[in-house]
Structure 1
């Protein structure tokens, strides 16, 4: 999946997402007060931490959020239902992605120094499991976002590749039987 984050005329960000299925979507940003686009922080954080169930892994799998619109391509006949199932299944992962992207965003936007402490605390809102990422992974996401924010400021856009391995799988509809039928 290819994502282009571009400065919109309003001063915010407009993300254009080209999915592997040929559908092109637009995702408006609501971040005019920030130097670094929040959606770019999501993409970097989720990719660097390997989060398939976050915003962009969900979109790659067929998820469409309410504020998005299809601008090209032809969605599947059952796209709305698949999107609903996927977003419901990823609810906790999306929450974790939101808080961690916020931590990474703040680290770059405001030169935060307590990034790991905030990341662990934020993750703890959603899970009692040990924090699954290392300090180099988290600070790697901060460094990548800082690098891309310089490109965004200079050019007004960033082209970002989302790896196929981080595409969220679409859950099977309830009541669907899987497997082989009995032999005669």
Structure 2
């Protein structure tokens, strides 16, 4: 999947997503007051930390958020149902992706990576009981990568990223409906 994050009219940003199935979607952001695009923080954080069930892994799997707009391509006949199942299944991982990305975003936005590990650990603890799976060094590397891409974004007004196929969220199978039929008659 190809992700292009670019400045939009009005000062915010938009992430244009080109999925392998040929569907192209726009994901608008409401981040006018930030130097670091919110969706760039998500994409970098989720990719670098292997979060397949976050925002962009969910989109790669067929998830469509309510604020997204179809630009081109033809969605599957069952796209809405698949998206609904996927987003419901990924509710907690999407929450984790939000708090972890927010901590990384804050570190780069304010040029203060000092507390990123503690902030991520606290956010992780809201959703999970097991220990945070990432080390301070791993999170520092994500901060460095986002800072590097932010410099590129500031210079050119856009950043293009390739989302790895391995980080595509799986779509849960539909619930099996029990067939109701006629019982044998005599």
**SS of match in other structure, 1:74:** coil
Contiguous gaps of at least 5 residues in structure 1:
178-184
Deviates more, 1:106-115 or 1:82-91: 106-115
Map 1:103-122; keep pairs closer than 5 Å. 103-112=103-112, 113-122=114-123
Stretches (4+) displaced over 4 A: none
Tell me if 1:164 matches 2:165. Answer: yes
Q: Give per-residue Cα distances to partners, 1:18-69, cap 9 Å, x unaligned.
A: 0010000000010000000000000000000000000000000000000001
Q: Which residue of 2 aligns with 1:56?
A: 56
**SS of match in other structure, 2:173:** coil
Q: How many matched pairs? A: 177
Q: Root-mean-square deviation (CA), in Å?
A: 1.1
Q: Which residue of 1 aligns with 2:129?
A: 128
Q: Give per-residue Cα distances to partners, 1:61-103, cap 9 Å, x unaligned.
A: 0000000011111000000000000000000000000000000
> TM-score, with normalisation over the residues of structure 1?
0.94
Map 1:1-184; keep pairs closer than 5 Å. 1-112=1-112, 113-175=114-176
- The structure with more radius of gyration: 2
**SS of match in other structure, 1:43:** helix
In the alignment, the residues of structure 2 paired with residue 77 and residue 176 of structure 1 have an alpha-carbon distance, to the nearest angstrom, of 19
**SS of match in other structure, 1:124:** helix
Contiguous gaps of at least 5 residues in structure 2:
179-186
In the alignment, the residues of structure 2 paired with residue 140 and residue 134 of structure 1 have an alpha-carbon distance, to the nearest angstrom, of 10
